Amino acid sequence: MRQQTTPAGVEGAVWMYPIELKEKVALITGGTRGIGLGSALALGQAGVRCVLTYRWGSADESELLAKFDALGAPRPMLVAADVANDEDIAALMDAIAAEHEGVDIFISNVAFAARTPSLSDYKKRSFYKSLDYSTWPLVSHVQAIFERFGRYPGHVLAISSDGADRSYPAYDFVAASKSVLEVFARYMGSHLGEYGTKVNVLRFGMVATESFEAMFGESFWEFLRGEGIAREDLLSPEECGKAVLAMCSGLFDAMQSQVITLDRGMAFEDNLMRRFERWKGAQG
C-alpha cells in the first residue's frame, strides 16, 4: 500500500492507493535484462508472478533470482524462448499453463534489428527479420495467450523508443519496426477493448542499460558532460519498470491505445538553441 498526502480540505483523512497485484501473472519477453528486468522487479514487488523469456545463455539464473529474493518478490519463471519462433511460443504457453491459469499482463519488450549505417545496408530480408523480432511478437504472443487460455490479458504493453520520431545513427530498422509496433498496439486496443483489455505503448528515451553502456562507452558520457547532461539525466531500467507497473496497476485504465513518451523532457529540451545557451553559459 502506498500512502499519499492528504488532499486539501479533507481534514485528518489518510488516502491510500493500493497496488496489490498478488493474484496476477505477467509475461515479459526479454525479461532478464535492462528494461525487461526493471519491469519484472517492479511488478514482482507488487506481488506479480512473472514469467520471463530470454535468449539461450543470456541469463545468470542464480544472480537473477537473488535480485527478486532481495526485494521479497516472488521468484520468476525463466523460459528460454525465441520470440520469433512459433514452436517456442507454443512451448512457452505450455510452460505457463503448467503453473498458472492464464496471463494477466503481457509486456512485449524484445527488440532486435540489423544496424544500417548507410542506404546500401538496407536489405529486405534484414528488415523483415527486424519486424519478426521487434514488432510481430506483440501480436503473436497475445494471440497465443488467447488460444491457450481462452482469454486475453487485462493489460498489454508494448515497449517502444523515441527512435521512432528521432534520428539515431544506424537505427533505421529499429525505428521502422517500432513505428509499426506502435500502430499495431493502437489498433489492438481498438480490437480488444470489448474484452476489457487495455493496450498501450511506453516510448522511452535513452535508457542507461548494460547494452547502452557497452555500445557507446565512456567517451559518450564525457561528451554528455560537456553538453551539461549528467548520467543521472538518462532514464534507468528501474525507472522504466516503475512506469510499467503504473500502467498495469489499474490506476490508468481509462487510457487506451495511447503512446506515452518518458524521456525527462529531453526531446523538448534537446535542440540547437538550448545547446547554444549552454555553450554561451560555459564561456563565462
Q: What is the mean pLDDT of each run of 10 residues along the chain (284 residues)?
A: 48 61 96 96 97 82 95 96 97 98 98 91 96 98 99 98 88 95 98 98 90 74 80 91 97 97 87 76 75
At residue 8, the pLDDT reads 52
| Overall pTM > 0.95 | no
Contact 202, 157 (CB under 8 A): yes
At residue 113, the pLDDT reads 87
At residue 203, the pLDDT reads 97
At residue 212, the pLDDT reads 74
Q: Residues of 17-32 as b/e, b for ≥16 C-beta within 10 angstroms?
A: eebebeebbbbbbbbb
At residue 58, the pLDDT reads 62
Q: Which helix (H) or strand (E) holds 79?
A: strand 77-80
At residue 6, the pLDDT reads 47
At residue 13, the pLDDT reads 52
Round to whole Å and give the CA distance between 137 and 111.
Answer: 10
- Residue 152 CB neighbour total at 10 angstroms: 22
Superfamily (CATH) of domain 18-282: NAD(P)-binding Rossmann-like Domain (3.40.50.720)
At residue 17, the pLDDT reads 62
Q: Can you say whether the dihedral through the CA atoms of 69, 75, 80, 86 is positive or negative? A: negative
State phi, psi for 29 to the nearest 5 degrees.
-80, 140
At residue 65, the pLDDT reads 96
Contact 165, 121 (CB under 8 A): no
- Residue 213 CB neighbour total at 10 angstroms: 13
250: left (phi over 0), alpha (psi -120 to 50) or beta: left
Mark out the alpha helices in the chain (DSSP H runs). Answer: 34-45, 61-71, 86-97, 124-134, 136-149, 172-192, 210-226, 237-248, 266-269, 272-282
DSSP sequence for 162-223: GGGTS--TT-HHHHHHHHHHHHHHHHHHHHHGGGT-EEEEEEE--B--HHHHHHHHHHHHHH
Round to whole Å and give the CA distance between 271 and 57.
Answer: 41
